[in-house]
Amino acid sequence: MQFEHFDTSAMMAVTSRPELVFLQGQGSWLTDQAGKRYLDFVQGWAVNCLGHSPAVLVEAIAAQASRLINPSPAFYNAPAVELASLLTAHSVFERVFFGNSGAEANEGAIKLARKWGQIHKNRAFEIITFENGFHGRTLATMSASGKLGWDSLFAPQVAGFPKARYNDIDSVAALIGPNTVAVMLEPIQGEAGVVPASMEFLQSLRELTLKHGLLLIVDEVQTGMGRSGKLFAYEHAGIEPDIMTLGKGIGGGVPLSALLAREDVCCFQPGDQGGTFNGNPLMAAAGLAVLRTLLEPGFLPAVAEKGDYLGHRLEQLSARHGLGGERGAGLLRALMLSDDSGPAIVEAAREHDPVGLLLNAPRPNLLRFMPALNVTFEEIDRMVELLAACLG
């Protein structure tokens, strides 16, 4: 594809991209090659939790880059040690392994659970996951995902991921057998269309897994790091999982993820887990800057408040346009449409002039909203105004 002075033919075609190249971003706004501005309510799929190029992140990365970029994961480095300590101090977990993507953190969680099963549960290896769940794009995490059509894409799948129905505790209980070692789920299924697990379901899952001596793994790649209005979404249900994975927001836009586990689950031995870039100080310094910001007094309550406001504005819009209401938590929300016009609305919003709006439709019958966690009330109002113009 050739447009303006960009020739994109050397890029592998893995998704259909519009004819625009973003050159700059600041906060909730992006600017393309033609100088057009876009209000961004996708933020790299819930990645840029502090918006585009926030000063705190730019400064942390620049300072760390000039100090030390990567001494090798075979040595400790100061930002990784500090970030691990901060994450464990603010969660129910005691140990952290850093990765580069959500899928990699989930691969690590799967490996840790299988290793634990080898040692403590007579080599049990099955991890019960959920219909419509999403855990990443490596072979094991695609197999753990319950996305329609993924069971035959790149077949054969990695074995050992029976699928239960989300929010249906009996369907989980029915799958438990001698080979079961863990249950793994997203507290809110993001790619499925922002479908929250009920508090009762999460609490029953914890009871059920404890009763059967199984590990409970929460994939908080999308819901973690403040997205739900609390630092981690499992906190809403008052449960204590055994393993958690983080990605997306943890680096504020740079490749960083984490696998967290309780001490008695940490059974990796030297050589079991690792990777060239894992826990490098450059990314860890970014993660540290992000987490310190999220922990500032008032930051997370403001996310919850703006989440409620976004929900309220979407509910109003839904009533006015005869749509199907909204759902979600914090600043991860969805607006249900009355038909499959999601992709068309996303395109119309992006092409809206003179200011575009970036939205996402993980399912054709709904729109997903994942703005920066420091989005302003005015930006939420502006988004609703732009969206209303497109719906109209």
Say how far apart CA 314 and CA 53 lie, in whole Å. Answer: 27
Least Cβ distance, residue 317 to ligand PLP (angstroms) = 25
Least Cβ distance, residue 323 to ligand PLP (angstroms) = 24
Alpha carbon distances (Å) from 20 to 33, 52, 358: 7, 17, 13
Structure tokens at 266: 């940490």
Least Cβ distance, residue 220 to ligand PLP (angstroms) = 8
| Torsion from C-alpha of 158, 164, 166, 170, nearest 10 degrees | -160
Q: Is 328 among the residues that bind ligand PLP (CB under 6 A)?
A: no
Per-position x/- string for 221-240, each x denoting binding to ligand PLP as judged by CB under 6 A, each - no binding? xx------------------
List Cβ neighbours of 69 (8 Å cut-off, separation of 6 or more).
Answer: 280, 281, 282
Say how far apart CA 227 and CA 246 lie, in whole Å. Answer: 11
Residue of 25, 27, 51, 190 that binds ligand PLP (CB under 6 A): 190
Helix (H) or strand (E) run with residue 294 in it: helix 281-294
Give the three-class secondary structure for 219.
strand
Residue of 20, 42, 103, 109 that binds ligand PLP (CB under 6 A): 103
Q: Is 241 among the residues that bind ligand PLP (CB under 6 A)?
A: no
One DSSP character per residue, 229-244 reads SSSSGGGGGT---SEE
Stretch that binds ligand PLP, among 63-71, 118-126, 130-138, 262-270 (CB under 6 A): 130-138
Q: Is 54 among the residues that bind ligand PLP (CB under 6 A)?
A: no
Residue of 117, 136, 193, 279 that binds ligand PLP (CB under 6 A): 136
Q: Is 219 among the residues that bind ligand PLP (CB under 6 A)?
A: yes
List Cβ neighbours of 236 (8 Å cut-off, separation of 6 or more).
Answer: 187, 199, 228, 230, 329
C-beta nearest to ligand PLP: residue: 102
Residue of 40, 107, 126, 191 that binds ligand PLP (CB under 6 A): 191
Residue of 106, 180, 209, 280 that binds ligand PLP (CB under 6 A): 106
Q: Which residues here bind ligand PLP, judged by CB under 6 A?
A: 45, 101-103, 106, 134-136, 186, 190-191, 219, 221-222, 247
